[in-house]
């Protein structure tokens, strides 16, 4: 796998306090890494260094792809008095994205992620978090860095956010995220880096997270209440879309039972395939139309 970014023997000090020490870490294209650890372990600091928002006090940070485009999703996002589309257009302008490209991309994202254009100060936490992720996707990053993306969200919003991140990952974007929720790790992560006391204590691939172990089920004609009942069935992992067609991700060993249940309740299956990244057909975020996206 092509390496995107690496840290080598990195340390970070604030005044006399060592917050990170001797951290060596890297991320490859298409990889999703969950950073875990207790409060104050150093996860946010590590993500800031990865995102290039802070410089290491010692050691080296290397970008292996030029230019490496990084999107950063902070843990808090203010409920501003803008509509999401206005806010995103404004951020796109600051980032130097031309107006036509920005409008096309914002429209595509709002459609895919099913975000109504409601004033942000009236939005739910889940809706605001979608805007937070979208602002980081505007420049079509090679690497998306998220600080506790599910923090403060209720369960339906958490499932929606997992679906959103899953779609972003499927389109080939690498993800580094600090995480507390086991569901998010189980649903998305290829690798887990554990941080304690400012040092990496464990860094390993999750054997059970092979792409082939998860299936993507696409179907239509199920009532919303029946779809909600499916969420409590064994094997259900998360929704990529609750629209029509609906797209569910399920654990492979339970796919047959879920399919039978969908058909029994009057649904029509339109597609069943292993969940994989980098689909052959570009179907959404429009990465194909950007010249020079890091090779």
> How many residues belong to the chain?
295
Closest CA to 195 of 42, 22, 50: 42
Q: What is the size of the binding site for ligand ATP (CB under 6 A)? A: 11
Cβ(153)–Cβ(129) below 8 Å: yes
Interaction between residue 41 and ligand ATP (CB under 6 A) = yes
Closer CB to ligand ATP, 73 or 215, in the complex: 73
DSSP state, residue 75: S
How far does Cα 175 stand from its chain's mean position? 6
Residues in Cβ contact with 137 at an 8 Å cutoff, skipping those fewer than 6 apart: 71, 109, 144, 168, 173, 285
Based on the shown chain and the rule CB under 6 A, indicate whether residue 19 belongs to the binding site for ligand ATP: yes
Q: Binding residue for ligand ATP (CB under 6 A) from 6, 18, 44, 241?
A: 44
- Among the candidate windows 12-20, 161-169, 217-225, 242-250, which touches ligand ATP by CB under 6 A? 12-20
**Smallest distance, ligand ATP to C-beta of residue 46, A:** 7
The Cα–Cα gap between 247 and 27 comes to 28
Residue 267 binding ligand ATP, by CB under 6 A: no
Contact window for ligand ATP (CB under 6 A) among 33-41, 56-64, 106-114, 120-128: 33-41
Among 29, 43, 105, 216, binds ligand ATP (CB under 6 A): 43
Beta sheet of 246-251, edge-to-edge order? 236-241, 246-251, 214-220, 268-274
Q: What is the number of H-type helices and E-type strands within the chain?
A: 8, 13
From the list 13-21, 105-113, 125-133, 284-292, the region that binds ligand ATP by CB under 6 A is 13-21
Which of these ranges, 11-19, 58-66, 125-133, 234-242, lies near ligand ATP under the rule CB under 6 A? Answer: 11-19
Q: Tokens 């485009």 identify what position? A: 69
CB-nearer residue toward ligand ATP: 40 or 279: 40
**Residue ranges binding ligand ATP (CB under 6 A):** 14, 17, 19, 37, 39-45
């Amino acid at each position: 796998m092509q390496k995107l970014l690496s840290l080598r023997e990195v340390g970070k000090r604030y005044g006399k306090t060592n917050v990170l020490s001797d951290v060596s870490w890297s991320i490859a294209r298409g990889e999703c890494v969950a950073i875990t650890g207790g409060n104050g372990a150093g996860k946010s600091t590590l993500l800031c260094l990865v995102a290039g928002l802070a410089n290491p006090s010692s050691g080296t940070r290397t970008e292996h792809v030029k230019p490496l485009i990084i999107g950063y999703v902070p843990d808090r996002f203010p409920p501003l008095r803008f509509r999401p589309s206005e806010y995103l257009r404004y951020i796109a302008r600051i980032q130097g994205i031309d107006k036509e490209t920005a409008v096309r991309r914002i429209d595509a994202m709002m459609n895919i992620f099913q975000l109504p254009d409601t004033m942000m100060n009236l939005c739910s936490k889940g809706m605001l978090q979608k805007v937070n992720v979208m602002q980081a996707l505007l420049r079509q990053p090679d690497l998306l860095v998220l600080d506790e993306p599910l923090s403060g969200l209720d369960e339906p919003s958490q499932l929606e956010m997992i679906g959103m991140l899953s779609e972003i990952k499927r389109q080939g974007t690498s993800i580094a995220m600090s995480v507390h929720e086991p569901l998010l790790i189980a649903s998305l992560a290829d690798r887990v880096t554990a941080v304690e006391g400012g040092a990496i204590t464990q860094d390993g691939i999750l054997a059970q997270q092979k792409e082939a172990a998860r299936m993507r089920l696409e179907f239509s004609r199920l009532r919303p209440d029946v779809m909600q009942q499916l969420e409590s069935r064994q094997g259900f992992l998360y929704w990529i879309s609750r629209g029509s067609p609906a797209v569910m991700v399920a654990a492979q060993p339970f796919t047959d039972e879920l399919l039978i249940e969908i058909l029994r309740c009057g649904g029509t299956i339109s597609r069943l395939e292993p969940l994989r990244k980098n689909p052959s057909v570009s179907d959404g975020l429009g990465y194909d139309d950007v010249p020079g996206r890091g090779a």
